[in-house]
Amino acid sequence: MRHYRRGMSNYPKIPEDQYQKLKFQMRGQYMAILNVFKCYGLNPYVEDAIEECVKVAENFAMAVRGKDKPIHILDKPKRRATE
């Protein structure tokens, strides 16, 4: 098992199947949180937002393990659905 070092912490790299399971669970939590916005025809925007949140979370996780990569995925705010 590979380990990543960050400060005084040691982060083991988990197996791919465990990683995919955790990623699935994270996506489910985002769905539960953002479910309140699935109204007035906004469902497609919520689905896109969930996927983008997952990407940001993955980038963040890599950054805290020491990977030199920015966590952001957007250069500017997205347009509002009503624009």
pLDDT digits (tens, 9 = 90+) for 9-58: 566 778 999 999 999 999 999 999 999 988 888 888 999 999 999 999 99
> Is 3 part of any domain?
no
Given a contact cutoff of 8 angstroms between Cβ atoms, the answer to whether 46 and 37 are in contact is: yes
Query: Does any domain span residue 1?
Result: no
Q: Please check the confidence at residue 83 and state whether its pLDDT lies above 60.
A: yes
Segment 60-79 shows an average pLDDT of 88
Is residue 6 in some structural domain?
no
Domain count, the chain: 1
Q: Is residue 69 part of a domain?
A: yes
pTM summary value? 0.76
Beta bridge partners of 41: none
Question: Does 37 fall in a domain?
Answer: yes
Q: Determine the structural domain holding residue 46 and report its residue range.
A: 14-83
Residue 73 in domain:
yes
Detail the DSSP E strand segments found in the chain.
3-6, 9-12
- 28 in any annotated domain: yes
Kind and range of the H or E run holding 47: helix 43-64
